[in-house]
Amino acid sequence: MNSTVSIVPELRARAADLPYQHVANHFIDGQWRTAHSNERNQVTDPATGEVWGSVPSGDASDVDAAVGAARRAFDDGKWSGLAPSERAQVLLRIADEIERRADELSLTNTRENGSPVAESSGAAANAAGIFRYFASLAPHLERDDVRPFPNGGPTGRSRSIVRQDPVGVCALIAPWNFPINLVVIKLAPALLAGCTVVIKPASPTPLSIRFIVEAAVAAGVPAEVINLITGSGRMGDALVRHPGIDKVAFTGSTPVGRKIAAAAGELLRPVTLELGGKSSAIVLPDADAATLQQRLIRSCLRNTGQTCYISTRILAPESRYDEIVDLVTETIGQAPLGDPFDPNTVFGPVANRAQYDTVLSYLEAGLAEGARATTGGRPAQLGGHLADGFFIEPTVFADVTPEMRIAREEIFGPVLTVLRYRDVDEAVALANNTEFGLGGIVFGADEDAAQAVAERVDSGSVGVNFFASNHSAPFGGRHDSGLGVEYGLEGLAAYLSPKSIHRL
């Protein structure tokens, strides 16, 4: 038995020994509390199919209690009344606390959504980095921003003092694919701004975020400032519509994002919506094959294809189509699929049963539409303890045409499509022929020429020969991929309410 295989049972045993698995209540008003109803949602290990925990399935009464606590905590000013630099000190301590508990975080993440440990072990460092980055923005909130009136106003020296108030009580709603970081990217700026929050993780992944809540309280955030409730979309809807909520920050699917936008429109409540995507990797005629091969999985199928911005449509020039299909097929076909606790695993299970069924339905649709599976195309039959896991063979579809569903719709699983183009104008047109506008990547040996193509892609972020989110650069989607941005100063602004005080 080699060393990486023998570590799997050890990591699984460590994950099974962690606290929380059955101590699963809401966190409201500074206490872990039982829920209003007795209903619970099960938490399933997607690699084994084993049910290993359960959390309350909250209802409107739990929402009311959590929002009430967050409202009182906001109004008492214990947090919002601190200087931004004082709040930033707490954020730095949260980052330290997260790093101290990195192992627990990553093991829980892997057990609840099947992210390979190689992926989830980066989650703690990334979360800590986000807290540190936002802490570094405190000086932007402390400077008095004085703006003169044009022509001096009534006195000739009249001016406005622009202050940045916290927006208030925020609902932070997250999906299951990155259950830690998609909360942290909301929580860190909300806390720096002085807001209080109610967090609602996705039903399949309610556990790893508890470590972040504990880390924040241990670091000195007054406990009532952060409230955590678990439940279904129905509870999420009650949260969004609660009169005590001042802002909604949501990451999830486009259909749910539309519902939230409609509710927020009725209530005239600000929202940030980070939604679905169907991004393209444009492989330019001069692209370097080795670079494409090296970056392919991270850029196009990260986290077993369950990442919003990845470029799952590969656009290959006619002249190199067969070569690119072969390269992609070989790279995807050879990447290890297996137990996500194995550090060698590149592709783990799909994160839950519902998503597994969705991805399989797309495999059927692709074959029925006439695409050619050059690798994969079926559920994967793994034996032993993985026999009941939600594994799907990583799949590459060639001979894909733009009107096929697999070329247009977000699949959110380990499935790539390869389309052909005749010239760069057609590649850009194909990349932009989608209702989404989230990510994208351009592979090309001449980086300036590749950037010129990237500038023509109609989406919120595009990479040149690589793609990664950068804490200091805004990230968000255009069109059906969302409203507003996270990360950067722009992401902080989403939790602020500017106020102008005019002085003679």
Q: Which of 104, 224, 308, 410 is catalytic?
A: 308
249 belongs to the binding site for ligand NAD (CB under 6 A): no
Stretch that binds ligand NAD, among 17-25, 109-117, 234-242, 446-454 (CB under 6 A): 234-242
The residue among 413, 379, 419 whose CA lies nearest residue 397 is 419
Distances (CA, A) of 406 to 368, 392, 409, 415, 498: 11, 16, 6, 9, 44
Are the C-beta atoms of 340 and 114 separated by less than 8 Å? yes
Interface with ligand NAD, residue 179, by CB under 6 A: no
Question: Where does this chain touch ligand NAD (CB under 6 A) — which range of 107-115, 222-230, 255-263, 490-498?
Answer: 255-263
Helix (H, G, I), strand (E, B) or coil at 236: helix
If the CB atoms of residues 8 and 441 are measured against ligand NAD, the closer one turns out to be: 441
How far are the Cα atoms of 127, 220, 221, 259, 298 from residue 216, in angstroms, in the given order?
A: 12, 7, 6, 31, 30
Q: CB-side exposure of 464: number of CA atoms within 13 Å?
A: 13
- State the residue number with the nearest CB to ligand NAD: 236
Q: Residue 240 interacts with ligand NAD (CB under 6 A)? A: yes
Q: Is 175 in the site for ligand NAD (CB under 6 A)?
A: yes
Q: Is 233 in the site for ligand NAD (CB under 6 A)?
A: yes
* Spacing of C-alpha 364 from chain mean position: 27
Least distance CB 25 / ligand NAD (angstroms): 18
Least Å from the CB of residue 354 to ligand NAD: 8
> Smaller CB distance to ligand NAD: residue 219 or 238?
238
On whether the CB atoms of residues 427 and 287 are closer than 8 A, the answer is no
Q: Which of 264, 221, 294, 304 is nearest to 482 (CA)?
A: 264
Closest separation between CB of residue 220 and ligand NAD, Å? 28
Give least dist CB 318 to ligand NAD, A. Answer: 30
Give the type of residue at 135: A
Strand 496-503, strand 159-166: pairing? antiparallel
- CB count in 10 Å sphere of residue 22: 10
With CB under 6 A as the contact rule, the residue among 438, 454, 483, 494 that binds ligand NAD is 438
Stretch of residues binding ligand NAD (CB under 6 A), selected from 44-52, 169-177, 221-229, 417-425: 169-177
Interface with ligand NAD (CB under 6 A), residue from 116, 189, 236, 270 = 236
170 is catalytic: no
Using the rule CB under 6 A, is 202 a contact of ligand NAD? yes
The minimum distance between CB 340 and ligand NAD, in angstroms, equals 18
Tell me the β-bridge partners of 317.
Answer: 421
Q: Does 209 bind ligand NAD (CB under 6 A)?
A: no
Among 45, 62, 410, 480, the residue binding ligand NAD under the rule CB under 6 A is: 410
Residue 159 CB, nearest approach to ligand NAD (Å): 39
Q: In a 10 Å sphere around its CB, with 0-12 CB exposed, 13-18 middle and 19+ buried, how is residue 44 labelled?
A: buried
Query: Which residue among the candidates 274, 393, 410, 486 is catalytic per the annotation?
Result: 274
The answer to whether residue 274 is catalytic is yes
Give the span between the Cα atoms of 154 and 450, in whole angstroms: 53
Q: Does 366 bind ligand NAD (CB under 6 A)?
A: no
Q: Which residues are bridge partners to 164 per DSSP?
A: 498
Asked whether position 237 contacts ligand NAD by CB under 6 A, the answer is yes
Q: Which of 129, 277, 305, 488 binds ligand NAD (CB under 6 A)?
A: 277
Work out whether 260 is an interface residue with ligand NAD (CB under 6 A).
Answer: yes
| C-beta separation of 284 from 449 below 8 A | yes
Q: At its nearest, how many Å lie between ligand NAD and the CB of residue 484?
A: 11
Q: Does 256 bind ligand NAD (CB under 6 A)?
A: yes
311 binds ligand NAD (CB under 6 A): no
Q: Does residue 474 interact with ligand NAD by CB under 6 A?
A: no
CA distances from 186 to 29, 67, 211, 297, 446 (A): 20, 17, 16, 27, 36
Least distance CB 184 / ligand NAD (angstroms): 13
The amino acid at residue 396 is V
Q: Residue with structure tokens 């460590």?
A: 14
Judged by CB under 6 A, does residue 177 bind ligand NAD?
A: yes
Q: For strands 40-44 and 51-56, give the pairing.
A: antiparallel
173 contributes a contact to ligand NAD by CB under 6 A: yes
State residue 486 phi and psi, 5-degree precision.
-115, 175
Residues that are catalytic? 274, 308
Query: Which residues here bind ligand NAD, judged by CB under 6 A?
Result: 173-177, 182, 200, 202-203, 232-233, 236-237, 240, 251-253, 256, 259-260, 274-277, 308, 410, 412, 438, 477, 481-482
